[in-house]
Chain A
Amino acid sequence: MTTLYLFVFAQSHDEFRLPELSSVAELNGIPYTLPLKPEDRDPTRPFMVIGLGKEDHAQILARRCILIKFVSVYEFYGQGSTYEELHAANRASRPLWEKFIPDTSFRFLVTSYNHKIPQSRQREVIESFSYMDFLGPINMKNPDITCAVLEEYFDTRGTTRSKHQGDGNFRQVFFGRLIEEGTARNLIVKFDVKKRSYFGNTSMESEISLLMANQTLASPGKIVYDPFMGTGSMAYPTAYFGALVYGSDIDGRQMRGKDKKSPGVIRAATQYGVASRIVDLCTFDVTHNPWRCGELFDAIVTDPPYGVRAGAKRLGRKRELSDRQRQLCEEHRMNPSSDDQPYIPPTRPYELSHLAADLVLLARYLLRPGGRLVFFLPTVTDEYEEVDIYTMLCEGMEVIANSLQDFGSWGRRLVTIRKTTSEKYPSPTFEPIHEPKVDHVPAHKDFREKYFQGFKPKEERGASKDSSTTPV
């Protein structure tokens, strides 16, 4: 039997909300139903009524979904665009709440979204529920049950209004009984980059890292790999959710930091109590990788180099070596030193659309069937088209989520791809030139150049630089 629950979502990263809910539900084997009307599952709205088979399931979701708010999950009794409608619905829900009539202690809360309700009307609202005839004592501090009325107002930011102006002109009002406080948002503070013992200018903010970790379906017994590990931002929440993690990077110093003794990534993992779940860190160019076989990982989670700050590189070079460089190469050959020594192998730039297509091919090889690739793709907002994502896909790999984080003229898309095939594929060759499978140039092609030209429309691309947020 399905029971309806009212969920309160954080107003943050709207497009990530339903993909996260779907991932956490899949991970825990939780069937759920979304509202039928599109406007009722609009992720820009704070409330959503979701059907679940068990109350336990609501708890599991509230404890793992980063985008579910603190005071957040209610057994749903009714909603309406007026109080008449709400009360009619609530009367019809009587079988759900009549068990609380005889002797349950209770309190009523009246809250709102995008508005502040004056105290006098809060009292009126509570009195309008007197037909429920709860006989137990009112207890504001420690009641057996908390019932809440939640009024949703349209966003009026940017307009000047007096304090309670528009009171009562809500879009929708909801009513239910509080059953669970979402705790997952506490993790955003726990994994705060600024409080981490090791981070760098490529570190990913904690909320996004957590969302990415949820997209991987991280849980005990799984192995997850980040081939552009850097300072390891996604490894920590992924390991915290129980998975074992591998990381590699072309530049060992990104994973080590300055401390000569213990690698930075291990120090940060120790701070979170997950050091033993970082299986290993390796230094190599992912386009020349030493993995002995495929189908190793349950997920690959990564933030590929965009080519702006943490430039995309690969081994090899376009131009001839200077004598000095040739000598260095020779020295390295005769006497290989560890990766924290000054020798840095020659690298050449790696264009983003090639890198993205290569990453999908690599994931198809390295993921076990059903495994997921979760990664960010930066893109030019005005030029992006849905088909861009498909220019990098290959057979056996299917996009299951694609959520935009919008920074204005540019943005980045968190893409989740599932390996749907159980065929065996060879390791990709990383040939520099890809024949485009689709006759289409994606907006993320030459992202670095577009970035430094300030994302001008195609016709007027010149040489000036944008001053907005810098992609890393």
Chain B
Amino acid sequence: MVRLITHNLLACHVKDCNTNNFPLEFKDAQIELRETEFNPEFVRGIIPKLEWKALVDTARELGDTTLPLELPEMLDDDFLKNLHHVLLEIHVEDGVMICANCKHVYPISNGIPNMLLAEHEIG
């Protein structure tokens, strides 16, 4: 936690921050790898929800280069296992996530990101 599946589903939500507010950039990310049971149906099912490029770029930044730049047409088991690993087994335990647009900093401590906004950010 923060796992990359989560990172791929969260965007900056500061008021009027609507463009270039995803993906958030990790900084000072402390990474842990933790095994999670593999469920190919789940991985297959989540693909339509993902922003593929953001996922691949973030994984590469964090040192995992197993995912292809383009989503393959054939979803074989090896691919699904790599995707499973990237989505669920890479945990960012500490660090921050920064919005490229408005520069809001979302801190992560003990794996829990603080996505709360300050008063002037909610309008």
Contact = CB atoms under 8 A, between A and B. Distances in A.
Interface string A218-231: 00110000000000
Contacts of B119: 315-317, 321, 329, 345-346
Given A221-B45, A336-B106, A284 B9 contact: no
B19 interface: no
B80 to A, nearest CB: 13
Nearest to A261: B110
A292 B11 contact: yes
Contacts of A446: none
B41 interface: yes
Interface string A331-356: 01100111110000110000000000
A281 B9 contact: no
Given A316-B122, A338-B108, A282 B35 contact: no
A256 interface: yes
B10 A282 contact: yes
A221 B114 contact: no
A337 B115 CA distance: 11
A232 interface: no
Contacts of A317: 119
B88 interface: yes
A138 interface: no
A346 B21 CA distance: 24
Nearest to A332: B118
B3 A279 contact: yes
A292 B10 contact: yes
A311 interface: no
Interface of A: 220-221, 244, 246, 248, 250, 252, 255-256, 260-263, 266, 276-285, 288-293, 295-296, 315-317, 321, 329, 332-333, 336-340, 345-346
Given A279-B88, A290-B11, 15 more contacts: A221-B45, A263-B112, A280-B3, A284-B117, A288-B122, A292-B10, A292-B11, A292-B51, A316-B119, A316-B122, A329-B118, A333-B120, A336-B106, A336-B107, A339-B116
8 contacts: A263-B111, A263-B112, A280-B6, A283-B114, A284-B114, A285-B117, A290-B10, A329-B120
Q: Would you list the 6 A-B pairs with minimal beta carbon distance, nearest first?
A: A338-B109, A284-B115, A339-B114, A292-B11, A280-B6, A290-B13
